[in-house]
Amino acid sequence: MTAGGTTRRDFLYLTTGALGAVGAVGVAWPFVNQMRPDASTLALASVEVDVSSLEPGMSLTVKWRGKPVFIRNRTPEEIEASKTVPVSELKDPIARNANLDAAAEATDTARSAGEGKENWLVMVGVCTHLGCIPLGTSGEYNGWFCPCHGSVYDTSGRIRKGPAPENMHIPVFAFTSDTVIKVG
C-alpha cells in the first residue's frame, strides 16, 4: 500500500462522508416537518356536528377524514321497515359498526345509534362496491341507491341488492350531548 494510495482513499472517504452528512441534513428537515400533524389534520381526526335542526326525515352530510358521513334522523316508518327484516335475509349479516364487536349482527338497533336513539343513523356515505357516493331516500327500499352500478341499500344502510358486498360502514361516533354527535 503506498502512502499516496492511502491518502486518496482517506480523501474519498471524507468527501463521501461530508456529502452524506449534508444530504442527511437536507432530507431530515422536511421529513420531521411532515411528521408533525398540522392543524387541518388534527381538525379532521374528529368532527362535532350539531344535529338539533334535523327533524325526522332529514339528513345532513359532513366531511370526515376526506369521506362523506351521512347523518339521518330516521322516521318511525323507516325504522320499522328496517326492523322487520330478519338478519338471515340480509346479503351482509354483519353490522359493520366500528362501535360494536366486529361480529355483531346487522340488526336495525346495531346499525343505529343504539337503544333509545334508533332514529339516528350515522354512516360513512361510500358505496362498498367501488366507492361512489349513494343517493339518499332512493331505491327500492327508500334508503340509498348507488347509481354507479345499481347497489340498493335499505333505511339502515344495509346492502340489499346489487354488486356492493357490504353494508355501508358505521364510523366511531358518540353523542357528546343530546344534540351533538362527535364522529371519530
Half-sphere exposure in the Cβ direction for 96 (13 Å, CA): 20
- Span between the terminal Cα atoms of the chain, in Å: 67
What does DSSP assign to residue 97?
B
Burial environment of residue 71 by CB neighbours within 10 A (0 to 12, 13 to 18, 19 or more): buried
- Per CB under 6 A, contacts with ligand FES among 139-178 are 146, 148-151, 162-164
Q: How far is the CB of 25 from ligand FES (least distance, A)?
A: 47
Half-sphere exposure in the Cβ direction for 77 (13 Å, CA): 6
Q: Does 12 bind ligand FES (CB under 6 A)?
A: no
Query: Toward ligand FES, which CB reaches closer, 20 or 131?
Result: 131
Query: Toward ligand FES, which CB reaches closer, 158 or 181?
Result: 158
* Residue 129 is a catalytic residue: no
Phi and psi at 151, nearest 5°, equal -80, 140
Query: Toward ligand FES, which CB reaches closer, 120 or 144?
Result: 144
- Per CB under 6 A, contacts with ligand FES among 73-132 are 127, 129-132
Q: How far is the CB of 126 from ligand FES (least distance, A)?
A: 9
Q: How far is the CB of 128 from ligand FES (least distance, A)?
A: 8
Could you write out the DSSP letters of every residue in 27-93?
Answer: HHHHHHHHHS--HHHHHHH-EEEE-TT--TTEEEEEEETTEEEEEEE--HHHHHHHHTS-GGG-S--
Say how many residues touch ligand FES, by CB under 6 A. 13
Cell output for 133: 357516493
The active-site residue, picked from 37, 149, 165, 179, is: 149
Q: Which residues bind ligand FES (CB under 6 A)?
A: 127, 129-132, 146, 148-151, 162-164
Catalytic positions are 149
